[in-house]
Structure 1
Amino acid sequence: MTRMSVLATALRTLAGAERAGKRQVLLRPSSKVVVKFLQVMQKHGYIGEFELIDDHRAGKIVVNLNGRLNKCGAICPRFDCDIESF
């Protein structure tokens, strides 16, 4: 079964690990969108270094947390619509 949003899953995992007081967190699966988002977070000082691990599948990312992350998440609006609205 595929995941609906890899970015939302990664951000939820990051926020949960930060809330639990962890120093490192393993994000899987990885994607180019998640890597670019982590680079922006690192540039602004919310996370420390991160390392990409190639497992010949979807990949993993190990992120070092620095305690500056308060809350993060993806905004995924879902609206009811019918076929005529397309």
Structure 2
Amino acid sequence: MRHDPLNDIINSIKSASRTGNRTIEAEPAARLIGRVLKVMQDYNYLRSFEVVDESKGGKFKIVLSDTINNCGVIKPRFPVKNSLLEKYEARYLPAQDFGILILTTTKGVMSHIEARKQGLGGRLLAYVY
């Protein structure tokens, strides 16, 4: 029984990048997870990903790039105002302007950089650097 599919996929990505594997298949192919992977791809942490619809729930086929040092899921999913993003950036990222926080906002899933530009807050989902 899965309690947190996002955590499972992020941990699969972290394990694959540490062992040198460049492709992984992870399930389930949920929309939220797809949007998180799209943000990671936009910042060149993933080369590509696609949905492989073989069974109930489907799978993602993910091709990693060489730029992931660490990634993880943020729990509990803190609600964050735009003015407090810098506090969580200092907590989860090793340096300023190095890596991204991924959060869900009223405008969709985006990085903390985009959320700050748009003046949005939201709930923290994950970090990547």
- TM-score under structure 1 length normalisation: 0.83
| Larger Rg, first or second structure (1 or 2) | 1
Give the Cα–Cα distance (whole angstroms) in 1 for the partners of residues 29 and 75 of structure 2. Answer: 19
What is the percent sequence identity of the aligned residues?
A: 32
Q: Which runs of 5+ in 1 are unaligned?
A: 78-86
Indicate the structure with greater strand content: 2
Aligned to 1:56: 55
Give deviations 1:23-43, integer Å, cap 9, x for gaps. Answer: 101111221111000000000
RMSD, matched Cα: 1.0
Paired residues in the alignment total: 76
SS of equivalent to 1:12:
helix
Give the Cα–Cα distance (whole angstroms) in 1 for the partners of residues 32 and 18 of structure 2. Answer: 23
1:12 offset after TM fit, Å? 0.3
SS of equivalent to 2:73:
coil
SS of equivalent to 1:48:
strand
1:56 offset after TM fit, Å? 3.1
Q: Which runs of 5+ in 2 are unaligned?
A: 77-129
